[in-house]
Structure 1
């Protein structure tokens, strides 16, 4: 069995760390990571709890394939009730932290209560203890991680931590590991900060030695790596351009949200694209992109490492930003760039550095700034309030407002509450481009219809990684569907959502699904965990996990009314491009989706569905 069989429970109030056996009956029904940790969470936490109260819990979880030789088997997830949305939150990260936690002998860490003072959790294989973090409080992620490694004289230690954003309870604060990989969405960093936890530092030397059928596992993982290598997306596109390979593709489709979703094509897209990151600059002859980078066990290597032009206004006299670090990925480039009408690649890279340094989700930050820019152009917000002129297209405004948000200063304090709260405060809630309070990713659902349904029904609020129908509607994976029609999309969305729940719970990266289907994951899980994990089992498991998350949200107070899109996407037709004249057909798709899910007309799982799934 590929689990370690151990859970570390940390009672922050009492200051204790105790080991307990993993519930293997739950593991066989929910697999690991997202599914299994959510099972623990919903069993232990009242759905109506205040996300930032001591009664909320936060779980850091690996999957059974984490730390193994399965490609991309380095993932871990953070599960809690999200302060941005009030919904179930599960944020997934790569890098090397997940493997280290698993190699130390732990499937998951459950934190409960609240520490009376700042602490960090130190894990060295079986040993776990809370350490004083008073000297680290107020420091950035970039300062915290090396400080902990230096203190323990161990450069191989892996650290996940929060920056000032998490401490200040920015509602979309992230947890960052390996300096620039992040559990980025829904505000998991704010929950960590609310508990006075600065970091988790792990050193694991035990490895993963419990594979059910080692010879078969070696054979099947080798075969599946070949599929990734030979695929056009995972073998060529992502290694070369990262997720930024999509910038020009999505723009040409007329599905690039621009100026807070007022438009669907951004004229400056080519200036902030993956191709542009490769081009030598006129100023110094060097490219923005230095190299690509892989997470633990990854054979794709989609990560970007970038270096900013040292003469650029953002980093003049700021030598701490002159080195190479985590560069732009598509979602960040869109949210900070197209969404705000900004086509300055160096400015976007600088703000992305800030997000990594201080622990902030660049998607929610950029999308909230775009709502601010629209309110500014409407005359609702003024230069005096913002501390700068803030029209769409202003790189200077983007930088100023982002710095203030990261530092918890000026109008940045309000931006840190997210677009839903900000736009409501200033009388224009319709300008928040979000679902359940979480801001949209980089796909306009007038041009990619299935994504509208995926956003509206996502259990953690608007999200592309809970049902990435872009794979089918744009890239033709696993089959090509027409992005401009609603027919067939409810079934497509459900299939992607259920399969993704299994990918996430196994401990592998969802990007493998550009080349793999569930039929490629199943034999790897079976060889690692046991033959009972056949296709029927995994398919039901994905559906079970989705419905469990849905049940939590219903108990938290969400209703069918929350499965909706902003009026702009339902009433304001796209003005140009292939989707010209179209709005999103969510109202047509939702009833069919509910029926396929086995839910009633109000979006509640029927008793028959719950019984079938063992919920």
Structure 2
């Protein structure tokens, strides 16, 4: 049946943990993980609630394929109302935590209210209790995980926790599990901190039972794994180079946002690329990359395990950072590097380590630093105000800002509010490279037109993972489209958005979609889950999830004007590369996209669409 059919409701105000049956009608309509958790959240909170108030809820959720033999079936999501954007926030993480939740017999954990003192949730199969976390408050994610494992004398416990960033309400704080996997975007860690919830520790020994057709499921997952292994991206590129394989590719396309999107190519891209991570250093003869790593059940293994140069200025007196740990992914390397003009890969790895250690989204953090550096170069911010000289390209400033923001010190408190609030405060809102208050990822909307529409319409604010048209526009998956044109992009974006909602809700990694289409996922769901999971139904469920999230945002106060890009991308043409002379064609694409979606010209879901999707 795929689902454990059980959810845990944790009332932090009252200190209670209560099991409930899963609403199976909703499971049939919204599948699981992202879709199902969003349905629960939207049914239980006021869309206008203050994200950091006790009235907001936070849901950790698995999908029906989480914990199974499906490749990459280790994902879980955190759904809440996001403090960075005020929109629905749904943040997805890999590692082993999601599978452990399923092994303990739970589909979902709903947190409500606020604890009067710091606590952590401990779950061992059917037993769940809140425990005192006073001794953990102020500790990093790394220290928290280690301490909980020691306290319980069980190294197999899986822990998701917040660091100082979540405690200090950094608006893009994340929730970190397995030391360097994170529910990374939209500030879910700040919500967790606002509830005085330090960590969730799980131990499950039940396994996943009740697969509907076990033989059929084995056949479907085996066939799907072969598709991944035979694909150039999932079978070769990602295992060897990780997501960082994209750095030089996107730079050559003239779509690598550089120095707060002033430029579209970075002259030092090769110095912070996947290839650079493999190169031997002159200082110690070692490469930064130690090995690749995989999350639960993953046959791709795109994770990076890296070791920093012990002699680098950032860590020369900090042996605690010398060991092998989570390495740079493409988005982090871009945000900490090209976005700020910093070409020092060791400084990027140091900043990345601090983001993992204290639970902070490196995309929003790095992109906010890019805005700070531009304001500094304009003379709007001074070194006296911010505590450091911060021209574009300064690795020293990047390192110092990471420390200040992670620990909530000095100007780091302002950086922790994100670029939208910071740029508005200092009189230049146009320099915030955001949609709905969330910073852009690593693709310039002038050189990859579909990504501009993806950012503008993403329900959780600027995001690449909601509709990764880079697959089509750059890599030719499943079909090659021209990245420089707007024609056909509204249809492409809608198709990617609806399909991605299914991948997320099933409990599998979106990276499988480099090789899989929904036709590869469908037989796995059909064999695992009760009921009919035809292609027709999956397409409908994906569309239903997207429109439900849209309805929530509309009720929260978002309008047509929020589906837009910053003026820089619409008025300042790319200066170099294939996209030279181009701006984003977002204004042309939006009306067409709304029409295809079955929304009004103002972007509101119509009554006809509501009826058709059973919303």
TM-score of the superposition, structure 2-length normalised?
1.00
| Contact kept? 2:28, 2:531, Cα under 8 Å | no
State the match for 1:93 in structure 2: 93
Cα distance, 1:191 vs. partner?
Answer: 0.1
Pairing of 1:26-425 with structure 2 (within 5 A): 26-425=26-425
State the match for 1:15 in structure 2: 15
State the match for 1:494 in structure 2: 494
Report SS of the residue matched to 2:478.
Answer: coil
Cα distance, 1:134 vs. partner?
Answer: 0.1
Give deviations 1:560-599, integer Å, cap 9, x for gaps.
0000000000000000100000000000000000000000
CA RMSD of aligned residues (A): 0.4
State the match for 2:555 in structure 1: 555
Q: Distance in 2 between matches of 1:519 and 1:46?
A: 37
Report SS of the residue matched to 1:20.
Answer: strand
TM-score of the superposition, structure 1-length normalised?
1.00
Q: Distance in 2 between matches of 1:125 and 1:401?
A: 42
Give deviations 1:480-517, integer Å, cap 9, x for gaps.
00000000000000000000000000000000000000
Q: Distance in 1 between matches of 2:51 and 2:384?
A: 33
State the match for 1:471 in structure 2: 471
Q: Distance in 1 between matches of 2:324 and 2:200?
A: 24
Give deviations 1:4-53, integer Å, cap 9, x for gaps.
00000000000000000000000000000000000000000000000000
Q: Distance in 2 between matches of 1:151 and 1:395?
A: 39
Give deviations 1:451-475, integer Å, cap 9, x for gaps.
0000000000000000000000000
- Equivalent residue pairs, number: 615
Cα distance, 1:530 vs. partner?
Answer: 3.2
Report SS of the residue matched to 2:446.
Answer: coil
Q: Distance in 2 between matches of 1:265 and 1:281?
A: 25
Cα distance, 1:531 vs. partner?
Answer: 4.9
Q: Distance in 1 between matches of 2:444 and 2:2?
A: 40
Report SS of the residue matched to 1:26.
Answer: helix
List 4+ stretches of structure 1 deviating above 6 A.
none
Show structure 1 runs of 5+ residues with no match: none
Cα distance, 1:305 vs. partner?
Answer: 0.4
Q: Distance in 2 between matches of 1:394 and 1:178?
A: 31
Cα distance, 1:78 vs. partner?
Answer: 0.1
Q: Distance in 2 between matches of 1:75 and 1:208?
A: 14
The answer to whether 1:453 aligns with 2:449 is no
The answer to whether 1:583 aligns with 2:587 is no
Report SS of the residue matched to 2:242.
Answer: helix
Q: Distance in 1 between matches of 2:592 and 2:519?
A: 26
Cα distance, 1:402 vs. partner?
Answer: 1.0
State the match for 1:516 in structure 2: 516
| Contact kept? 2:456, 2:565, Cα under 8 Å | yes
Report SS of the residue matched to 2:123.
Answer: strand
The answer to whether 1:614 aligns with 2:610 is no
Q: Distance in 2 between matches of 1:522 and 1:58?
A: 29
Cα distance, 1:135 vs. partner?
Answer: 0.2
Report SS of the residue matched to 1:564.
Answer: coil
Cα distance, 1:419 vs. partner?
Answer: 0.1
Report SS of the residue matched to 2:348.
Answer: helix
Q: Distance in 2 between matches of 1:71 and 1:56?
A: 33
Q: Distance in 2 between matches of 1:366 and 1:52?
A: 23
Show structure 2 runs of 5+ residues with no match: none
Q: Distance in 1 between matches of 2:552 and 2:224?
A: 35
Give deviations 1:53-73, integer Å, cap 9, x for gaps.
000000000000000000000
Give deviations 1:188-223, integer Å, cap 9, x for gaps.
000000000000000000000110100000001000
Pairing of 1:521-560 with structure 2 (within 5 A): 521-560=521-560
Q: Distance in 2 between matches of 1:536 and 1:230?
A: 27
Report SS of the residue matched to 2:548.
Answer: helix
Q: Distance in 2 between matches of 1:609 and 1:570?
A: 31
Q: Distance in 2 between matches of 1:344 and 1:461?
A: 29
Report SS of the residue matched to 1:551.
Answer: helix
